[in-house]
Chains A and B, each alone.
Chain A
């Protein structure tokens, strides 16, 4: 699969501070790619370098086989983005804002079906209101509209979930899947909602202190990760006495109230449930947490 984006050894220094340190990764074409990192890890600086807003101190960025700096105009016509919070001209209506961005994107108005665009991002009926009357969630939706209005092949989204209500988050997820699966768009997105990233992304890179600490397909990265399994029982003391002295004892992480937390490989969950039921433990619920959260915390905090 050809690369949509290739980041080659980029470094960005602000004075003596190294914000991004020799970072390299590739975003394969047609994938949804997660870009993760804790606050202050260099995520936003990297995204800004990907959009030529910041010049790398060293290194190169390629879109396809074209270098960003020397082919900026051509590349930018193929990119839609939301960087940080979506900011607009608040004294203009949403429609007037989009018209401005369409003009700046070299797209003629007749080529854009605004109604479909407003419907797609959930702003239909509010497009003529001034942006100053918009909530943050609505601005986020408008941000999405401006990112899509010139039909880009690559979409870069920085925290697109921020400010969206649960319905909005689900709609955004569905929209990203639709754009990726039906229109073949490559999507790079950063988010702090790791379950969302795990669910959506094919591949990801995790950066910490400006360096890549993990990079690859989600399934490969998480294949060796144990799950945090919460078993809720009617009588936790009885359950703890049962597992004492058995092989399950070593997997207990902690317990609180009626819940006992195990650290388990996925295939062992059903065996544990079966063992408890066979030994007459009344099971109320059994659930496991998405693995990416733990993986992320472990690699960004250098935990073993």
Chain B
């Protein structure tokens, strides 16, 4: 019961904090902006792309549809989402230390571990809400505007066509993997927030780590090859595997295990550090 009460506190604070709404605003703005752009110019762009394919195959039906728009939006926003997640989760501990409210929290009977876990869960809940919001806007609103049809996309230089009635469970899986990826980002920001005592540095540091890991992942160099399989950024795009045919199950499971391992390690380190930390501010 004590943990439930603390968690309720953290959820209330997270929901009522003004900066929590920035993420929802950005997601809504980008989704609506791209949907409007595709509504106006999408057919033109697609006819240019599909025109090159018409010599070798016949395309029927609505290529520019809600499923494709959602796929594009996911690809676009997965770059911005870590920043939006870190903006809130990177502030959860260090923000309270900087503001002085942590002093009052830690002089209550609840243990530090419970307080930290409640904060982490609130961050994960926020991540889930943000992703669900993206899902509603990207998938359901796009389908309402553009209709639902087969998804045609080029992945690894292979043209893949997914039937419209085969899409829903794939999107559920894709959003599930995206959620796991963003939970790693949230846990990383939460960890840095535990280490640092101001609210901006953990957010900036989280983004810096993502950028550095992404750069390492981009280059096909022998010294980087050893690291790449273990970097969470390598597995953050595994949601795309849900739209392969056939689905590379082993790769997805491997990615999920590595992402989950990151969460466990980072959360464990946060708990260890926070329990030892002197609250001086």
Q: Give the bracket for the number of chain A residues in contact with chain B.
A: 20 to 34
Give the Cβ gap from A98 to chain B, nearest Cβ, in Å. 11
Contact yes or no, B109 A76, CB < 8 A: yes
| Residue B12 at the chain A interface, CB threshold 8 Å | yes
Contact yes or no, A92 B16, CB < 8 A: yes
- On chain B, the residues within 8 Å of A92 by CB distance are 13, 16
Give the Cβ gap from B94 to chain A, nearest Cβ, in Å. 14
| Residue B104 at the chain A interface, CB threshold 8 Å | yes
Most buried by A among B104, B111, B278: B104
Give the Cβ gap from A160 to chain B, nearest Cβ, in Å. 14
Query: Given the complex of chains A and B, what is the CA–CA distance between A100 and B118 in angstroms?
Result: 13
Please count the residue pairs between chain A and chain B whose beta carbons lie under 8 angstroms apart in the complex: 75
Contact yes or no, B16 A77, CB < 8 A: no
Contact yes or no, B278 A84, CB < 8 A: no
Contact yes or no, A106 B13, CB < 8 A: no
Q: Could you tell me how many residues of chain B have their Cβ less than 8 Å away from some Cβ of chain A?
A: 26
Query: Given the complex of chains A and B, what is the CA–CA distance between A92 and B17 in angstroms?
Result: 9
| Residue B168 at the chain A interface, CB threshold 8 Å | no
| Residue A48 at the chain B interface, CB threshold 8 Å | yes
Contact yes or no, A53 B8, CB < 8 A: no
Contact yes or no, B17 A91, CB < 8 A: yes
For the complex with contacts A87-B99, A88-B101, A103-B8, 6 further pairs of A-B residues with Cβ separation under 8 Å are A53-B279, A54-B279, A55-B278, A84-B100, A89-B13, A104-B9
Contact yes or no, A53 B107, CB < 8 A: yes
Contact yes or no, B278 A100, CB < 8 A: no
Interface residues in A173-227 by Cβ distance below 8 A to B read none
| Residue B110 at the chain A interface, CB threshold 8 Å | yes
- On chain B, the residues within 8 Å of A105 by CB distance are 108-109
Query: Given the complex of chains A and B, what is the CA–CA distance between A209 and B101 in angstroms?
Result: 28
| Residue A253 at the chain B interface, CB threshold 8 Å | no
Give B86-122 as 1s and 0s: 1 = Cβ < 8 Å from A's Cβ atoms.
Answer: 0000000000000111011111111100000000000
Interface residues in A132-166 by Cβ distance below 8 A to B read 146
Given contacts A100-B13, A103-B6, contact A54 B101 (CB under 8 A): no
| Residue A292 at the chain B interface, CB threshold 8 Å | no
Give B2-37 as 1s and 0s: 1 = Cβ < 8 Å from A's Cβ atoms.
Answer: 100110110011001110000000000000000000
Give the Cβ gap from B46 to chain A, nearest Cβ, in Å. 45
Give the Cβ gap from A247 to chain B, nearest Cβ, in Å. 54
| Residue B276 at the chain A interface, CB threshold 8 Å | yes
- On chain B, the residues within 8 Å of A106 by CB distance are 2, 5, 108-110
